[in-house]
């Protein structure tokens, strides 16, 4: 495995998003977060609604996972919104209580509009329950705002009127690698590898070895999850660990899966080739972004933040080159188009 020198910042988010798409993983996560509620969730029929949620702010946040999940009680079954917001950076988002509330209120607003569109006589409006969870994988426990009141200024007397809204914070840093490995839940065992990404070689390889051995137990009964989880840990290790460790980690994964060694070897090779190609593409993108920034600065001396942001987030080489060509003839930044 040969990682690119600069791992994608969104890699932890991508890993968690992909892993929680498996109903069994979502169930294991909820059992750890809300053990008193988990039995009621029908995770086999969970539905991820991120591409349907009509909130522009969230279209740019790939780290949010809003699931509609049937919830069973003794008397009925109805949908609940389980909103998982993933946070990885050590510089935690102080707006997280507001973000999660905004998501919940937006979901309720959609239900309210559907109810209002019904022909009279309408049944009483009853909103779906919402469970907000912040899944934090940073290296230290969450140290930022937890409630809406935390966001309010003085006077203190007004804090009593703030919405009583506090997401559940699931902190990876509060669990030791061994606790995760001993959990008996494949998703938590997978998370043990993320937990030690900054450890020294000996500790990382020890946890990686045990995790690979645990995940091998998925063979035969959960083949898709086994394949996905093995690919995830190999990809994560490829990006997050020094290149010199790559061969050893591939061998560990092969030894943990003795009847599937060739399959594991091919998987590791495919990952390495894909990462090399991704690194080449990212290098070409960054080169074109840098050329466009330099040309704009040469012509106009100063660039507003929104233009810098548009350049940095553009992932289309053709568009960047076209913008560079147009900039050659631009008279004003008002003409900038990207």
Distance CA 78, CA 128 (A): 8
Q: Worst-scoring range by mean pLDDT, 127-136, 161-170, 301-310?
A: 301-310
Q: Indicate the residue among 174, 193, 225 that finishes a domain.
A: 174
What share of the chain in percent tops pLDDT 90? 58
Q: Indicate the residue among 174, 201, 232 that finishes a domain.
A: 174
Q: What's the pLDDT at 114? A: 94
Confidence of residue 55 (pLDDT cuts 50, 70, 90): low
Q: What's the pLDDT at 275? A: 63
Sheet holding 168-171, edge to edge: 47-48, 64-72, 77-87, 130-136, 168-171
Q: Residue 295: which of 315, 319, 325 has the closest Cα?
A: 325
> CB–CB of 255/34 below 8 Å?
no
Q: What's the pLDDT at 269? A: 84
Number of domains in the chain: 2
Q: What's the pLDDT at 226? A: 96
Grouping H, G, I as helix, E, B as strand and the rest as coil, residue 136 is strand
Q: Worst-scoring range by mean pLDDT, 179-193, 232-246, 261-275, 291-305?
A: 261-275
Q: What's the pLDDT at 164? A: 92
Q: Indicate the residue among 174, 189, 220 that finishes a domain.
A: 174
My answer on whether 281 and 140 are in the same domain is no
My answer on whether 302 and 157 are in the same domain is no
């Amino acid at each position: 495995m040969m990682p690119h020198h600069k791992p994608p910042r969104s890699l932890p988010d991508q890993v968690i998003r992909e892993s929680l798409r498996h109903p069994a993983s979502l169930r294991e996560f909820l059992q750890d977060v809300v053990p008193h509620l988990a039995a009621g969730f029908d995770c086999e029929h969970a539905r991820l609604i991120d591409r349907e949620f009509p909130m522009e702010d969230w279209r740019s946040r790939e780290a949010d996972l809003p699931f509609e999940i049937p919830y069973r009680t003794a008397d009925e079954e109805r949908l609940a919104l389980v909103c998982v917001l993933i946070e990885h950076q050590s510089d935690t988002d102080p707006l997280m209580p507001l973000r999660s509330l905004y998501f919940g209120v937006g979901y309720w607003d959609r239900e309210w509009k559907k109810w209002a569109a019904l022909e009279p006589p309408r049944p009483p409006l009853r909103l779906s329950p919402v469970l907000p969870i912040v899944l934090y994988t940073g290296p230290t426990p969450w140290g930022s705002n937890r409630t809406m009141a935390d966001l309010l200024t003085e006077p203190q007397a007004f804090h009593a009127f703030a919405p009583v809204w506090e997401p559940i914070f699931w902190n990876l840093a509060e669990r030791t690698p061994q606790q995760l490995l001993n959990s008996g839940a494949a998703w938590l065992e997978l998370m043990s590898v993320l937990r030690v990404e900054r450890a020294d070689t000996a500790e990382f390889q020890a946890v990686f070895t045990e995790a690979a051995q645990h995940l091998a137990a998925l063979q035969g009964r959960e083949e898709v999850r086994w394949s996905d989880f093995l690919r995830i840990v190999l990809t994560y290790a490829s990006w997050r660990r020094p290149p010199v460790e790559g061969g050893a980690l591939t061998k560990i994964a092969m030894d943990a899966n003795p009847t599937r060694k060739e399959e594991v070897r091919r998987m590791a090779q495919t990952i390495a080739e894909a990462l090399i190609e991704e690194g080449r593409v990212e290098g070409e993108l960054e080169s074109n972004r840098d050329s466009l920034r330099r040309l704009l600065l040469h012509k106009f001396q100063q660039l507003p933040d929104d233009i810098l942001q548009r350049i940095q987030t553009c992932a289309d080489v053709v568009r960047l080159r076209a913008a560079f060509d147009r900039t050659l003839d631009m008279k004003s930044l008002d003409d900038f188009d990207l």
